[in-house]
């Protein structure tokens, strides 16, 4: 059965690092309507933070550009986010997604961003090509625990 | 002894320096925190460095990079390095990177922590 979209939001902001905290807080606020668990919320915040940080530090490196964060929730309690940049792109996506792979070890990057996203979310898809920018699509289905109303 | 070294909260006990990281550790602020810690350890030259994470609300791979980077620095300088009190969420990140093979991770019970 096909799910229907319950709510969606689109944000666009310049690639300045102060927006990393803004983006993950926005994701947490948007998810709140699904009444997620603390762990689910933490996972989503971290995954969004990873993808937005990658757009800022890798996609746009020393340049300034626009980062887009589109989020959706469907009636089957699936959260979906797309993080998009029009930056340098990735030549070998499979290699980039490998644990510990980084093109930026000088700045103490550990190459674990994609690995963290993969572990914290249900799905991760990376669409990218050199000079064509990068789209990162992540989803997570939230649990349906009976909750005590406070 | 409690002191604020460039807004870095730390406690020195004998030759052991404990740094209390706070708030969000992400790419935006990792560089500042990094240079504050490094300045502190170069000046003080402790025998042991503990990064206490109990007050960290949020951390992503930039925080992981910060921790691994301080570990590398500590090894270079012959300083014993430990991480204390990561939240379950931070622990997941540390475990994903196989951090425990390199770094001792301790959970110090609250009553044994030196408070300030
Ligand atoms: N939006 C992007 N644009 C261009 N390259 C990217 C983008 N996202 C990721 N990459 C490439 O993929 C590599 C791996 O990304 P990943 O997030 O896993 O590690 P990292 O960012 O290098 O390190 P860490 O996330 O641990 O700080 C990066 O080093 C970079 O080369
Ligand atoms: Mg990254």
ipTM of the shown complex:
0.92
The residue written with tokens 């799910």 in the block is A3
Give the distance (Å) from ligand 1 centre to CA of residue B4: 34
CATH topology of domain A5-141: Heat Shock Protein 90 (3.30.565)
Q: Is the CB of A103 under 6 A from ligand 1?
A: yes
| pLDDT, tens digit, 9 for 90 and up, residues A97-132 | 999 999 998 899 999 999 999 999 999 999 999 999
DSSP A38-67: HHHHHHHHHHHHHHHHHIIIIISTTS--EE
The residue written with tokens 């990735």 in the block is A90
Give the distance (Å) from ligand 2 centre to CA of residue B106: 26
Q: In this structure, which residue's CA is closest to atom 11 in ligand 1?
A: A96
Q: Which of A36, A37, A46 is the best substitution to test chain B (most B C-beta atoms within 10 A)?
A: A46
Calculate mean pLDDT across residues B11-33: 95
Q: The domain containing residue B14 runs over which residues?
A: 2-112
Handedness of CA B2, B5, B6, B10 (dihedral sign): negative
Question: For residue B26, which residues of chain A lie inside 8 Å, CB to CB?
Answer: 17, 20-21, 49, 53
Q: What is the structure's pLDDT at A55? A: 98
Distance CA A138, CA A78 (A): 10
Question: For residue A120, which residues of chain B lie inside 8 Å, CB to CB?
Answer: 92
Q: Is the CB of A59 under 6 A from ligand 1?
A: yes
> Looking at the predicted structure, is the pLDDT value of residue B116 above 50?
no
The chain-wide mean pLDDT, for chain A, equals 95
Return all residues near B58 (Cβ < 8 A) that are at least 6 apart.
Answer: A24, A42, A45, A46, A49, B23, B24, B25, B26
Which of B17, B22, B25 lies closest to B93, judged by CA? B25
Chain centroid to CA A144: 22
User: B56 and chain A: CB distance < 8 Å anywhere?
Assistant: no
Q: In this structure, which residue's CA is closest to atom 8 in ligand 1?
A: A54
Chain B residue with minimal CA distance to A104? Answer: B65
E strands along chain B, which residues? 2-5, 8-13, 16-25, 48-59, 80-84, 104-106
State the CATH number of the domain containing residue B66: 3.30.750.24
Under a CB-based contact definition with an 8 Å cutoff, are residues A68 and A12 in contact?
yes
Report the greatest alpha carbon distance in chain B. 35
Instruction: Return the domain boundaries, chain A.
Output: 5-141
Question: Would strands B48-59 and B80-84 be described as parallel, antiparallel, or unpaired?
Answer: parallel
Residue A144 pLDDT level (bands cut at 50, 70, 90)? confident
């Amino acid at each position: 059965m096909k799910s229907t979209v319950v709510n969606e939001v689109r944000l666009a902001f310049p690639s300045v690092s102060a927006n990393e905290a803004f983006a993950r807080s926005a994701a947490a606020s948007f998810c709140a309507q699904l009444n997620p668990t603390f762990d689910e919320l933490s996972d989503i915040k971290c995954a969004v933070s990873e993808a937005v940080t990658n757009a800022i530090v890798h996609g746009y490196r020393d340049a300034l550009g626009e980062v887009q964060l589109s989020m959706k929730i469907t009636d089957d309690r699936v959260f979906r986010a797309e993080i998009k940049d029009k930056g340098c792109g990735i030549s070998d996506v499979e290699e980039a997604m490998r644990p510990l792979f980084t093109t930026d070890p000088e700045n103490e990057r550990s190459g674990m961003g994609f690995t963290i996203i993969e572990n914290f979310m249900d799905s991760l898809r990376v669409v990218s090509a050199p000079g064509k920018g990068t789209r990162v699509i992540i989803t997570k289905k939230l649990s349906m625990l009976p909750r005590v109303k406070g | 002894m409690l002191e604020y070294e460039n807004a870095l909260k730390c406690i020195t006990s004998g030759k052991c320096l404990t740094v209390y990281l706070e708030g969000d550790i992400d790419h935006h602020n990792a560089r500042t925190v990094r240079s504050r810690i490094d300045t502190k350890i170069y000046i003080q030259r402790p025998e042991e460095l503990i990064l206490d994470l109990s007050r960290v609300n949020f951390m992503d791979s930039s925080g992981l990079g910060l921790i691994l980077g301080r570990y590398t620095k500590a090894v270079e300088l012959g300083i014993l390095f430990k991480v204390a009190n990561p939240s379950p969420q931070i622990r997941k990140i540390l475990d994903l990177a196989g951090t425990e093979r390199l770094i001792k991770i301790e959970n110090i019970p609250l009553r044994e922590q030196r408070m300030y």
